[in-house]
Structure 1
């Protein structure tokens, strides 16, 4: 199925430090493209894949599961490891959850983690009932486009495929169970006004992780903060985080 214009994956060959960016549920690489380009301009090698079923149609996404999305990220991560001395992982919303899963599974192979409004706790009623609801309705109203900045839009689905959503609780349980394996430095950007992911996810991370966790509050953005008013703070903050935790210099620092 054709990819929507603007939803294409983004890749940039830079220096020895690689960053894998993970977009969110029903979204596309478009929501993280400016972030990726900012990191690329600083000399980093950047990989921003398009997750299966995303950036095409919600009907196609309905035929995919979280395992499909995670497998795509796994391939991109393996590719970065083969080309870079160190790899950081980062993500928005569900992408943040999968970035944490990569850190749990791959240990020291992940140098550090940056997440924006991560979704790790299923506190939305729709998602709790999705495993049963999938037999009743194929889709429900979408969650894309929660942006405060005027004139800015997210390239995401207007409908949420229930069958795909019904697979999320299994991923959340895995991430919650193994969260203690995340010993890498972790930077969390959290929007105070988020109409998609509730505060429970960040509260969970605060309760379970120690001194390796830093949370920075975003006061002028909604859920898709990477396209919102606080985007520059995310871009610069994540770059400084990578620079401070990498053991090799960024290309432009040489």
Structure 2
């Protein structure tokens, strides 16, 4: 009897399913998996983060995983940015078969480089090209909608979950954009060092910034994730691979 496979995809801080939609669509087109992309408390197209907390975000993801587990023989978990740390936490504390970490915020988002992005937006504004700036288009509706409390909860989530990285033994695929300044590319090296899994694949994408699922490398990224999730992994030769695309 054919096994039923579930796939849980977790979005990032202040984001929503739209951040990972190209990946969801790619997997949905090529598989018969049950794919879930839950909206974490306070997130989505209209932010309402005043009463949100890191405990609620973790609970939302845990419940979504449990619901998939009820109807699936295997479950894969994919996390983007803050969602990557939530996915890592689930992999350390729950039974999953494969883990994918995308631009994972193992440390806090870099406010130094966030200011760089803002400066870039201002420059594009003077040139009359602001509506061509991908980051502006993604975050413009969020300015002023993220209370300080929510940012503190985000930092609490990172602090709480990073201690579980050493407990992960699930095969893991780590993807990081070289142009990502919000989560500097070195974060992928830290994840590689701290995660205990014997099978780890780490790939850097030269043309990608933080929104890795929406960037120029997305087609290649989607295929590599699909290949990782569908390949047979020999337990005796759990080979670690690092490459740059």
Asked if the contact 1:86/1:246 (under 8 Å) is kept, the reply is no
Asked if the contact 2:110/2:181 (under 8 Å) is kept, the reply is no
Asked if the contact 2:177/2:185 (under 8 Å) is kept, the reply is no
Counterpart pick for 1:179 among 153, 159, 165 = 165
Counterpart pick for 2:224 among 234, 237, 242 = 237
Q: Which structure: greater helix fraction?
A: 2
3-state SS of paired residue (2:190):
helix
1: CA distance between counterparts of 2:5 and 2:217?
Answer: 25
Change (3 A) 1:54 1:236: same
Deviation string 1:148-204 (CA, Å, 9 cap, x unpaired) is: xx6754376234322111012332223222211100011011101112112342222
Q: Extract unaligned runs of 5+ from structure 1.
A: 1-14, 127-140, 142-149, 248-254
Instruction: Identify the residue that residue 158 of structure 1 maps to in structure 2.
Output: 143
Asked if the contact 1:112/1:245 (under 8 Å) is kept, the reply is no
Report the number of matched residues: 209
| 2:221 paired with 1:219 | no
> RMSD value over aligned CA atoms?
2.4
3-state SS of paired residue (1:61):
coil
TM-score, L = length of structure 1? 0.75
TM-score, L = length of structure 2? 0.77
Deviation string 1:26-48 (CA, Å, 9 cap, x unpaired) is: 01111111211111111222001
Instruction: Identify the residue that residue 30 of structure 1 maps to in structure 2.
Output: 18
1: CA distance between counterparts of 2:211 and 2:156?
Answer: 24
Instruction: Identify the residue that residue 61 of structure 1 maps to in structure 2.
Output: 49
Deviation string 1:55-80 (CA, Å, 9 cap, x unpaired) is: 2544x212201111111111111111
Instruction: Identify the residue that residue 82 of structure 2 maps to in structure 1.
Output: 94
1: CA distance between counterparts of 2:12 and 2:73?
Answer: 27
Runs (4 or more) in structure 1 with deviation over 3 Å come to 123-126, 150-156
Instruction: Identify the residue that residue 39 of structure 1 maps to in structure 2.
Output: 27
Asked if the contact 2:105/2:187 (under 8 Å) is kept, the reply is yes
2: CA distance between counterparts of 1:246 and 1:88?
Answer: 14
How far the C-alpha of 1:92 sits from its partner, in A, is 0.9
Instruction: Identify the residue that residue 52 of structure 1 maps to in structure 2.
Output: 41
Deviation string 1:188-225 (CA, Å, 9 cap, x unpaired) is: 11101112112342222122235322110111111001
